[in-house]
Structures are given as C-alpha cells and as structure tokens.
Structure 1
Amino acid sequence: MKKKLLATVGTVLGLSLLLTINAPTSTKADSNLLLASVEWVQAQLNPLQTKVASLEKQVAQQDATIKQLQKAVADGGTVVVPPVTTNPPTGTPAVIYTTTSAKVHSGATRSYKVISTIVANKGLTVIGEHKGADGIWYNVEISATVKGWIFSGDVSTTKPGNFVPSKVITKEATNVRKGATTNYTSLETVAKGSTLTYLGSFKNANGETWYNVQTPKGNKGWVLSTLTEVK
C-alpha cells in the first residue's frame, strides 16, 4: 500500500513538473499570435482613419461655403457658387497685389456685399479662384477669420516697388514683445506659422528690424524680423 501511494505521488509530481516546463512556451506563442493580430488590425485601420480625416475636412469646407452663400443671400447678393477646393487651381497665383484701392466682396460678383476695402500696393494670399461672366475673381484671406473675393482687374501678380505688407508670418515660435528689443517682456508667444496683422516696422539702435503686429488674440506688440516674413 505504501509503495502504491509513493508511486501515485511521484506520478503527480512528474505531471506538474511537465506542465510547469511547457506552460511558458505556450503562453509566449499565444502572446506572439495576439500581437501579430493587433498589428494586422492596426494596419487595416490606418488607411480608413486617413480617409475619415479627409472626408471630415471636405465636409468642413462645404459647410463653410454653405454659410457663405446663406450670408450672401441674406445680404441680397446674386448667388455665385465658388469652387470648393483643398488647393487653388493650377496656375492660380499664391499672392496678388492691389493696384488701386480695391473692394473685397462676400461673393464672386460686384453685387455681393463689400466686406473690406484694401488700399493700393497691399499683398493678399490667394486660396482659390472663380471664373465668372465678367472675368476671374480671386478668393483671398483678409485675416485669419475673414475671407472674400476680389476682382482680378483690381490686382496684379507683380510685387510693386512700394509694396505695403499686410501680414506677418512666423517662421518659428516667436515672442511678441512690448517693445522693439529682446529686453522687453513678452506679451504672448505665438506658434510657428501664425499669421499676425502688420502695423508697421522699426529699426532699433542695434540695427535690428522689428515689426509692429497684432495677434489673433488682439495683443499689439513687436516681433523680430529675422523670425518672420511679411506678405
């Protein structure tokens, strides 16, 4: 009886040892299989996420166009549907310059409401164009939040000699300071690629050129010219 008991105990211990040795290998294989499955699913989701982001951007652009048309109708203008594009058509200038005091309309005909009047020799960034019955109209940025349409006959693609900047674009994260030296405290730090309204320029005693600007938050201050570019 004692021998049988010892034999049984030995068998149980042997099986336990065998399971203990084999268990990590099985667990590792299962983990590798699970990891491969997760990576495969992620690879399938990435293209879908990109498409969703693209569709969301198109919907936002279309929504902005609809609101612009609704405003134009409310203002009594003739509805001219501007193109919805992610980039201006090939051949469209990136920047245009006013050759005279030019009016910017809320739509691509003169019957639309005038939303801004731009003095001569000002540069404007073009974000689109529309070919109407009277000629080409350019969709331009007046500010970070205001966009409108200007007739091609009132502008030129050639930069005038007496060009007056209208905005300042930061080339890197930039401090907007209270005065035109780095000794002045910073009013605000703006990110790279920020658009600031140009107010004027000044060359200090150190020979540095500083631009007087207004930020989208409404702060007025000075930025160093080497950290920015004017348009």
Structure 2
Amino acid sequence: MKKKNILVAGALTVGIGTGALLSTPQVMSASSNVVLASVEWVTSQINPVKTKVTELETKLANQEKEIASLKTQIASLGNPSTPPAQSTNMVYTTKDSVTIHSGATRSYKVIATKPKGTKLEFVDTFNSSTGLWYRVKVSSTVYGWIFSGDVSTTATTSSTSVITTGDVHLRKGATTSYAILQTLPKGTTLKYISTFVNSKGETWYNAQTSAGVKGWVFGGLSEVK
C-alpha cells in the first residue's frame, strides 16, 4: 500500500513539473507581446510629436530670417532725422549755378546752390518722371536732391571767376534792396566766392574785385567761369 502511494505521488509531481514547463513559455510570450505593443503605441504617439516639433522649428527659423530681413530694410530706409549711411560715391556740378532741392523734382524747395566744379557725396539715387536724381550730402545733417543733368560722375574744373556780361551793380547783399558798393562795367573779371538763390528765385554771385571789395552781383548780368 505504501509503495502505491509513493508511485502516485511521484506521478503527480512529474505532471505538475511538466505542466509548469509547458505553461511557462506561454506566459512569457504573452508578456513579451504586451511589452512590444506598448512600445509600438508609445512610438506611434512620439513620432507625430517629433514631426510637429520639427515643423515648428523650421517655421521659427524662417520667421527669424524674415524679421532679420525686415530689420535690414527698415534700417536702409532710415529715420528722416537720421543721416543715411556714408558713401564714397561722388558727383561734380557742371553748370555755373546748380540747385539742390528738398525732393527729386525742381518743384521742391531749393535748399542750396552750388557753383561749377563742386564735389558732392551722394548716398542714393531716384528715377523720377524728369529723369535721374542724386541724393547728396549738403552738410553733416542736411541732405538734398540734385538733377543728374547738372552733375557729372567725373571731376570738373572748379569755378574761380565771375565775368560781368553787362553793366552791373556790386551790392552789399543778394537783392536789389541792398546798397550799391560800386558799378562794374561789362567784361569786368571778379574773384568768385559763392552762389546764392534768394527768396525771389534770383541767382546772385558773391565776388571780390581786384581792389579787394567784396559784394554781390546779379546772375542775370554775370556768369561764372
């Protein structure tokens, strides 16, 4: 009887061990499948996020480039009260009396008048309905526009003399209301000093006689050489 019980117990032990061996791979396989599924799910969630982040980074980089470009454009326009960037480009006046205007047509206010041979630095150009204009530096803070037909990009000879083309008065100022210093006959040669356009639009030349007398002569009765 004891021998039979021993055999039965041994059989049960072997059965349980065999069952354990047979069932363990199934449990392990199920666990692996769950882990694999979890990894695939997480990956499926992460990939769209990575793609979205990449798209946002690209858009941000493009926006930064656009902002930098706009800043450059704004800087190039400049503030009206701020002088533009310096330039090494030069033009030279080719006529006896050349006017510089506040805008790129002759209808704008005259802000300066320059004699023949004056060298001017230009910082910009503009093609208006009347032709090409240069934006020139009049002083450290003042800029104006000069017509291309009145200047050359190559150096010209500076004016040194004023020749009277008729009998003309040498006056104390650049209008007929000023006192007469003396009357100069036609053909008189004077030392040229500067040019001025008065409020009436008249051109006057500041000049000096051979005797050292300085005054103003009307441009309509004299010319700069």
Q: State the TM-score, normalized to the length of structure 1.
A: 0.34
Q: State the TM-score, normalized to the length of structure 2.
A: 0.35
